[in-house]
Structure 1
């Protein structure tokens, strides 16, 4: 299929009139140069009243476009998230390198420093994602990366626990928009089935940050000094400077949306918009203006709420690994040097990274996500049973591999799931923000799951994580059964009767309450 001579794309919120010969048709069988543009920004709807796409297009052209988007978009956001997670989790590496002793930490001070980060992180999650939509991801993501890089650099100069808490509060504020912002950004470019795997390509940086962060911290600690800084202070300084550089680079490489991408031809821009819009029932534009009704639809969607609860439970494990894996390894291999202990944290994260890519890849091919929530739980349960049931070093270290291989996969899968089960861009921004906000409440809980007096076996922390994994299994199974049952009920509804008399705006504001909408498990 060849498409050429397309007019200039409309800006966000604008629409084009539907071709006169298509206004009363249920479908457009072939996209050509004259109607592709209208399929991209249709003045009426992207689908018929039953949710079927009005357009079909060449799968070869779509694959070529998708690869191009992959190469231009994913590497930059992946690097930003890598150092976002490193700048957050390097506190654990710094702790076993002397941070706690130099700052005079006592009792629950370390747990309190972690908690302060999550307080700001949680409070600003949804506002930051709405700000990302308002500013445009091409500006918001580089700016927030620059700011948390500066904040991480500032951590190298703290001398007291209150100073560390203040810097970590700012770090939480500036990092709050990164994970949901990238997920929302990618939802502008990819179709429902494709999104989980693309999310995994940047969220895989979380386990890689655990392994790479350990290696980087080990290498940094081999230095005599960095400027006038020594030991753990060098970790924050060097990693903060790298993040600042990546933020500046991202200002040059990221673009808000397909319509403004200089690296796409006009034909590719139209196809990029059309294919995303073809899945959004009853919508007239891909990027709508922020609207209260659709905002609430995104937050209070039952799949958003249930998935966010699952992500909360899962994040108790994920963030617990990030902050306490070095401490757990130290309790197992206390006779090793600090550098050797850092290196022991690497292999479990490498295994976790592999499965973080594998399961979303399978999810993409199946266009299913909920079933993988269910499948992830048993491995975590077995891992924590091993922690609780054995004091053997090899058994407990092996348990970290099982936990990492399943825990990290829910990051991309949950964000893809809430994105797939709303319609409008505003609802999607709110749903992803809600999911990540709830997930980071789990991070806040994780900061108090491994307590100093519970060392070295950490029965409370390991027991809590066993309970959360079990709950993930139960909740995910019940939600899947409910989705299938409710979708069956929806198929029996009279679409014409329910939409009769509604204006186009009222139909759009229905979002997932549209009578033809079906849940996407």
Structure 2
């Protein structure tokens, strides 16, 4: 090697070394920022969602403590009270999600949390079925935007690969709410009274007051978006915006204004609709567990005390939370969601098959763990999947809202899966849940193969992509969303 070649070689090596050094420094800066966002953003929405689920499902604990008896509910009255909540929830789901975008999550989430906390307190004072239905209807209005609003809020801060794990931490509050709810209910019921309230009334009142206090704290701690974060420097704000915006195809800004064309694309997105269908089927199971697990435990162990029955509801929820963390961690590290969604169904199928096949108390209790294991993780997985496969902020907002709306159609169905005349085997309820798990597995497999097939087709026609975009304005190109020739489905 002559001197000239030696000089060129050394210069190239120096350039490579400098580039590697810059890349390493950029990765360290982004990792530091991500950790900071984790600390300031995730805890608040996680606590709010925990109380959201507790205030929704504590009626199951109240039922064991005499709610049904004191209100003289008979036959299907309890199921009717449960159903009313989902009627308002479904009707207000998408309007609430759009409202979250319009006024900003930093204001919307604390306000709506204060509202559903107040409705929980109000439930402590109902004396008739009509009053209970009225309060549950209002509870559904206030809770409608919490789940999609929180998922949409987190999507403003994280890359696609990172979002699933953060949604997983947030969604562990669904199963943990069952655990905390059972523990809190058993603790509260040991009190003689809370003011003039007794028994099940104390459950609603105390848990509602805790919710309202947390909502007031959230007004201070919840930062609306990166630009308004007082705890970030200007350089960190720019990095927070650019790293998320870099994944948005042909979108000049991270947070756009509400756009009708993009909203339509987000709603009609085939992966949004397929994933939302999976979440609908999953929620029949998850919310069936949330509302009826105390009832199921009572049927399995009728001789136990009320407090013992409440405590037996706790371990299955902890298993569900653990499985959610494991699956979403795998999703983050492998940067995939669809395959893991496919894998959630089989354990649930086995659990409900055992329920149908035996009346042995201990075996049936073990089956509860299988049924609750992977089902809870789909809240995080499906929201992350529709978010990953929606391009602009408007499309992502409506896609997450659509997923949540479908999910709570499943919630409405779940309120009628366990009926009094079906006890103690509950063949109908367990059979419905077995079928749901099998069906969402089939849909997930079909969607996986379709995405791979469509991505391959898009690769083949990539040569003509420029011709497809020729003659379109910049705004028309931005509005293409998943119809853009450069778009690829995210598995």
Equivalent of 2:349, from 360, 381, 388? 381
SS of 1:355's partner is: helix
SS of 1:226's partner is: coil
Q: Cα deviation per residue 1:421-468 (whole Å; 9 max; x = unaligned)?
A: 010000000000000000000000000000100001100000000000
Deviation at residue 322 of structure 1 after TM alignment: 0.3
8 Å contact 1:355–1:405 — kept in the other structure?
A: yes
Equivalent of 1:199, from 137, 151, 167? 167
Distance 2:460 2:111 in 1: 48
Deviation at residue 255 of structure 1 after TM alignment: 1.2
Instruction: Kindly indicate which of the two structures has a greater share of residues assigned to helix.
Output: 2
Say yes or no: does 1:152 pair with 2:123.
no
Equivalent of 1:97, from 42, 46, 65? 65
Say yes or no: does 1:319 pair with 2:292.
no
Q: Cα deviation per residue 1:314-366 (whole Å; 9 max; x = unaligned)?
A: 00000000000000000011101101100000000011110111100100111
Q: Cα deviation per residue 1:212-254 (whole Å; 9 max; x = unaligned)?
A: 1000000000000000000000000000000000000000001
Deviation at residue 257 of structure 1 after TM alignment: 0.6
TM-score, scaled to structure 1: 0.89
Deviation at residue 56 of structure 1 after TM alignment: 11
SS of 1:409's partner is: helix
Distance 1:405 1:357 in 2: 11
Equivalent of 2:95, from 127, 133, 136? 127
> For 1:280-359, what aligned pairs fall within 5 Å after superposition?
280-359=248-327
Deviation at residue 169 of structure 1 after TM alignment: 0.2
Decide whether aligned partners of structure 1 residues 177 and 363 sit closer, same or farther in structure 2, where only a CA change above 3 A counts.
same
Distance 1:111 1:30 in 2: 63
Query: In the alignment, what sits opposite 1:64?
Result: 32
Say yes or no: does 1:113 pair with 2:81.
yes
Query: In the alignment, what sits opposite 1:508?
Result: 478
Q: Cα deviation per residue 1:102-145 (whole Å; 9 max; x = unaligned)?
A: 00000100100110000000111111010000000000000000
Distance 2:465 2:172 in 1: 41
Query: In the alignment, what sits opposite 1:445?
Result: 413
Deviation at residue 311 of structure 1 after TM alignment: 0.3
Query: In the alignment, what sits opposite 1:517?
Result: 487
TM-score, scaled to structure 2: 0.95
Query: In the alignment, what sits opposite 1:434?
Result: 402
> For 1:156-175, what aligned pairs fall within 5 Å after superposition?
156-175=124-143
Q: Cα deviation per residue 1:379-421 (whole Å; 9 max; x = unaligned)?
A: 0000000000010001100011111111001000000000000
Distance 2:340 2:433 in 1: 18
Query: In the alignment, what sits opposite 1:495?
Result: 465
Name structure 2 gaps, 5 residues minimum. 1-17
Equivalent of 2:330, from 357, 362, 366? 362
8 Å contact 1:30–1:57 — kept in the other structure?
A: no
SS of 1:124's partner is: helix
Distance 1:195 1:495 in 2: 30
Query: In the alignment, what sits opposite 1:24?
Result: none
CA RMSD of aligned residues (A): 1.5
User: After TM superposition, where is structure 1 displaced by more than 6 Å over at least 4 residues in a row?
Assistant: none
Equivalent of 1:189, from 137, 151, 157? 157
SS of 2:58's partner is: helix
Distance 2:272 2:217 in 1: 33
Deviation at residue 495 of structure 1 after TM alignment: 1.5
